[in-house]
Structure formats: C-alpha cells, structure tokens
Chains A and B, each alone.
Chain A
Amino acid sequence: MNMTRRELLGAAAAGAVLTSCGKSAAPAKLVRHFPVSNVSITKAPAYDMSIYDTIYRIVSDHKLNVRGKRIVLKPNLVEFEPGTVINTHPMVTHATYEAFRKLGAAEVKIAEGPGHRRATLDLAEAAGYFATVPKFEESFTDLNLDEVAKRNIPGPVSKLKSLYLPHTVLDCDLLVSLPKMKTHHWAGATLSMKNLFGLVPGGVYGWPKNVLHWAGIAQSIVDLHHLFPRQFAIVDGIVGMEGNGPIQGTPKQAGVLVAGSDVAAVDATCCRIMGIDPAKIEYLQLARGEENLGETAFHQVGESLHTVRTPFHLIDPWKEMISL
C-alpha cells in the first residue's frame, strides 16, 4: 500500500489540529458497564438449503419476542461485481426473512440504501436477490428513496446533531443488521454496526454518504447505533472478505454465522474470529469502552471462538495497528 501508518496518523493528527480548536482539556474517562449478553457462533460451511434451518434455529434460540412485530432486515448491498463476496448473500437474507415470518412477525421487510450505487433494484438483482427471494420487489424498500423524518441524536459522539432517516426503519419494532464479514480500509472491519450507514438516505445526503465521513466515520457509526436501540444482527461470515475490503478485497471462507441482540458484542466477537483486536476498532471502543470488549465480556454460545478463528489478511497499516 502507498499510504504508510505515518501518513495515516499524520492525516489524523492534522485533522485533530482543527477539530480540537476550542477544546481546553480531554474529558475524564468514563467507565461504563454493560450487561453480559449472548452472542451465538454457529458453523455454516456453505450457502446451501441447510442455511434456512440453521438461521431459524439461531433466531429461535435467541428467544426474540417477534410475534406481531414489524421487522426490517438490512443486508449489505454495495457493488455489482459478479462472482465477488461484496454483498450479503441473498440466501442469508431470505433465510432470515423466512425465520422471522415463521416465528410470527406481523411484517418482515428487506431494506437497504447502498452508499455507492443509485440503481438499488438493479444492484439487488445482480446480487441474486430477485432470483432467491420470491416477490422480492414487494418486500423491499430502497432506503435511499424512502420518505424521511428528522431525528435529533441524543448526546452525539460525532459532529452530527441530527439526521434525516427513512420512515421504514424509524417505524419498525426490530432492526436486523445482516452484514457481510469484511475488512474495511477506513474502519478496520465492517460488520453489523458499520452496516447501519446504509440507513442514511442517499436521496437526501447523496452518494457516498459523505456527511458521515466529515462527522467522523467511527463516531457516526456509534451515533447511528444509538438511534436504533432495538437491534439484532446476524453476520454473514460463511464467506467473508479479507484484504482491501469492503470492495476490492478477496474472498475468505470463515464458515460461520455470528448473531445476537447486542450488536457491538456481535461485532467484537466477529473481530476476534477475524484475528482483529476489537479494542483497537475505534467505533467499538466508542460504543462500549475498551474494558467491555474483552473475551469474557460476552457470553458466547454455540461454537467456541478458538474452533472458528480464521485470521483475515489485513492491509497495511491496519495489520500493525489492529491484529490480535
């Protein structure tokens, strides 16, 4: 890579010169405590019909109260490239859709607002969603073009004070993040929390959703996370992406699905599977504090971490900065 760690830190320091203007002292460190939450790790070796049963069991085991509820599934749709692992596999999304329906949800919608491409339905078609999900268009909402309402961010971590957000996600009872397990050249790793960038409407903020970058990527991830307190996540780590993710990386078979209601805990667990120290991922630090990201901070159920650990290749300078 042409950008060295020194350059990356230099750019960050230059930003800090400006962003720290007017601040007199660093705030005192706040020690926070989180209830120990369940994170399930389930082996899933391939995208085949067994996924439907596997995901049904995952959702059932987490004992979510979904009967009569409105559920929104948020996969990660990014690019058209055929034969790559950029997007959440449609079978994972469809199996989750079927699981929630079977468990009595009143309504299950699939919704996404891609950050790069405007032709969302064409992108979904290229990613195999039309072929996999029957009557896909009827259950799908393009969040980039949905009606919006303004929401103030309580105690923002980023420079944002408010965001326009789509009605579809504001009105749901449970938001289910369905990301792909990928490395990310700006954030280190992109998982359930980073996937929430797709909730921000391109029709208002444009493509890419640059207001979030200016407000601080990690900080905006945390603010979005706080705006949606009722979440669940299932991370598609059957085949993830390593290297220069989230677009130009290479496939990496991890053979797992990682799930839970505490999505920061889910992401921290995914990081450990990927060989990444979650305490070094800025948005996880901000969301939970370093002291709440240790291996014993969550109750891991299903497979143990060491049996599924699959170190992902990290590009420089991330390799040096975040490897376990």
Chain B
Amino acid sequence: MTGLLVVEQLLNGLQLGVMLFLVAAGLTLVFGIMNLVNLAHGSLYMVGAYFAVAFLGWTGSFAAAVVLALLATLAVGMLVEVVALRTLYERDHLDQVLATFGLILFFNEAVAIVWGRAALFASVPPALGGFVELLPGLRYPVYRAVIILVGLAVALLLYVVVSRTRLGMLIRAGASNRTMVAALGVNIRLLYTIVFGFGAALAGLGGLMAGPIYTVQPGMGEELLIEVLVVIVIGGIGSIRGALVGAVVVGMVDTLGRAFLKPMLATVVSPAAADSAGPALASMLIYILMAAVLYFRPQGLFPAARS
C-alpha cells in the first residue's frame, strides 16, 4: 500500500515538474537569447489560465477554449514584447527587474478589474474526468496523467524545433551572436518577438492546464514563478535541457517533501514537533537544494554555452 502511495506521489511530482517546465522553458529561452530577466513571465501563466476559463464559459467547448487561450496568450506576449520589453534588451538586469515588476503589478490588477479578485473555479473537462488504473490498485486521475503526457510531448517537440529546424537554428545563432545573424539578413527583431510569443504561449499552456488543479486568482503566477526561478538556477540559465531536468527534480523534491517529510519526522521526534516543523521544513527543501547545487556548481547543472 505504501509502495503505491509513493508511486502516486512520484507521479504528482512529475506532474508538477512538467508544469514548471512549461513556464521555465519560455523564461530560460528568453534569457538565453535576449539576455532579458522577465519576472512578468508568471503573469503570462496567469493570463493563460484566465483566458481558458473565460473562453470555456463563452464557447462551452474545452478544446476550443484551449486553442483560443493559447492564441490569446501568444498575442498578449507579443504585444508586451513590442510595447515594453523590446527597449529593455540592451539595459542592465536591474532595469529589467524593475520594469517587469511594474508589469506584474499591472497584470495582477488588470485581471482583478476584469474578473474580480476572488478565485475562479475551473472544472476538469468531462472527457478527461475520472481515473485510470495504471497499476493494479493504483488509480490515477486521467487529467493529471494527460498533463504529464502533454508536458513531455511539448518537451520533445521543443527539442526537435530547437535542434532540427531552421527556426531553431536561427534561435541558437541569435543566442550566440546577435549582430552576425542580423548582418546575414535575418530580421532579428521579428525573431525575438516570435520567440517571446512562443515562450508566452508555453507559459499560457501551463496556466490553462493548471486551472482545474490549482486556483485561478490574481498573483497565481508569482507563486509559481519563484519555483520556476529555482528550476532554472538549478538547471543552468539559458539551457532548455537544464530546465527540464531542474523542473522534474524540483517537482519531485517539493511534492515528496510535502507528502512524506512530516510522517518521517514523526518517527524521529514527537508528533507535535513534527506537526509544526514538518511543513516549514518541506517548504524550505527546494531552496536548500538550490543552495547545495550552487555551492558545487555555481553555473547550474547544465550551463548554457554563451559567447
């Protein structure tokens, strides 16, 4: 029985991991290529979740809501890039932090104006409801299983796009030498806008899938964003492979810590002490992990090659 519980929590950890990866991928790409620290990336995750809820109410179809929400988040991302972020690429990180902090304030408030401050309820689509029996005795929610599959599929797709296609080649070239790529006749500004838009859409995908599991409310993006920052610091900033490994590791450590740390502590110290120390310690685990990784490898596990 305990074995099955561990497997179930491992799956939950993987599910959190792919969710973190969807947001981390865009953030790490934008940093690796445009050298931009975008704290407002979590806002795009939030916007994706809200769009999905709104379009679901409007069309009544989950599939249509997903497509429309992805397109809308893509558009919002590109708009933000053109209006505000484009001028920040050449600025130092401090300016980028401050300006994107301003964007977060704006997005959180804009969402509150349109949809209100209270958390919205997003339901699991009926077609993906219910459970699937993965192992004898292990029933796992279909919806979470689908999230894992979608996340892994996106990871694979991203790998193929970046390493095997012409767009991916331009992206890699733009990361290593922007001026040279522009000199060869590539419209680098357009390329940046496209990359930013797709990063936004990936974050939006994470957000719209997260809706039915977590709560949809203003500020939901930042809670995730901090964990995503831990992910890309561990994985190495600018590296997609690092983002994937970091996301899965952080997802696992966080989920397993929250599930098992308290009962494990209770076997060592008194149950009362475990009750109060367990949750505190569990919430610290991923940061301790980050500190440990940095101590041995200050550039993360997979430092991206930068010129």
Asked if A and B bind, the verdict is: no
Q: Write the residues of chain B forming the contact surface with A, with a CB cutoff of 8 angstroms.
A: none
On A, residues with C-beta under 8 Å from B are none
